[in-house]
């Protein structure tokens, strides 16, 4: 049973959810930006993990910040070092200020392009304002975008 001070963050992509410590990037694996989970995706759709407002889309379209209706700041970073692509391979489906629901498509990504150019396709899902969170529990294994719980939390 979900209490009022608890909540869920859903998978952004269909694929395999892994621990942040297993992400081959020290910024994410050391949890410098916050805590969360990463998904190694198998499809090109990136979906909103929460109900909330799109606060920022990075100029390179590879990262999105969503402020959940519960006040959590969620960073979705598609691939590792993909900022170097300068937006190639990423098609935003939302704009800053949009209100999104769990499962709404926020971006389409060309995973074949990322793989062909030898970028890791890991997608970290990070809670960046961890000071609001008492407990964050990752859920590992196979995920379905917008349907599988990736993280549960207590405020």
The Cα–Cα gap between 20 and 30 comes to 8
Catalytic status, residue 77: yes
Residue 139 half-sphere exposure toward CB, CA atoms < 13 A: 15
Strand partners, 38: 18, 124
Catalytic residue among 77, 99, 122, 139: 77
Q: Tell the residue number behind the tokens 């930006």, with chain if given.
A: 33
The Cα–Cα gap between 152 and 145 comes to 15
> Which residues form the catalytic set?
77
């Amino acid at each position: 049973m979900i209490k009022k001070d608890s909540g869920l963050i859903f998978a952004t992509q269909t694929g395999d959810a892994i621990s942040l410590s297993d992400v081959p990037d020290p910024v994410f694996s050391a949890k410098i930006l916050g805590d969360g989970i990463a998904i190694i995706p198998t499809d090109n759709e990136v979906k909103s993990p929460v109900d909330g407002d799109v606060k920022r889309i990075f100029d390179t379209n590879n990262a999105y910040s969503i402020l959940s209706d519960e006040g959590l700041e969620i960073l979705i970073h598609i691939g590792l070092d993909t900022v170097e692509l300068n937006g190639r391979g990423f098609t935003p489906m939302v704009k800053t200020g949009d209100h999104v629901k769990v499962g709404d498509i926020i971006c389409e990504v060309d995973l074949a392009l990322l793989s062909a150019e030898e970028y890791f396709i890991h997608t970290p899902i990070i809670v960046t304002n961890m000071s609001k969170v008492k407990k964050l529990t990752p859920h590992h294994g196979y995920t379905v975008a917008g349907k599988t719980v990736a993280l549960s939390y207590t405020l």
